[in-house]
Amino acid sequence: MKKTFQLHVEGKHPDRLLEAIKHEIRKYLKRERRRDLPEGADFWDFDCKFGVTEEAAEVVHLATIIERIDAVVADKGTQFYVELLAKGGVRTPRPAGEQQDMHGLHEDDDLDEIND
State the burial class of residue 69 (Cβ atoms within 10 Å of its Cβ: 0-12, 13-18, 19+).
buried
At 65, the amino acid letter reads I
The residue ranges of every structural domain in the chain are: 2-90
Confidence (pTM): 0.77
* Ranges of the chain whose pLDDT falls below 50: none
Interval 6-33: pLDDT, tens: 999 999 999 999 999 999 999 999 999 9
As a whole number of angstroms, the distance between CA 25 and CA 74 comes to 19
Residue 105: its pLDDT value, please? 54
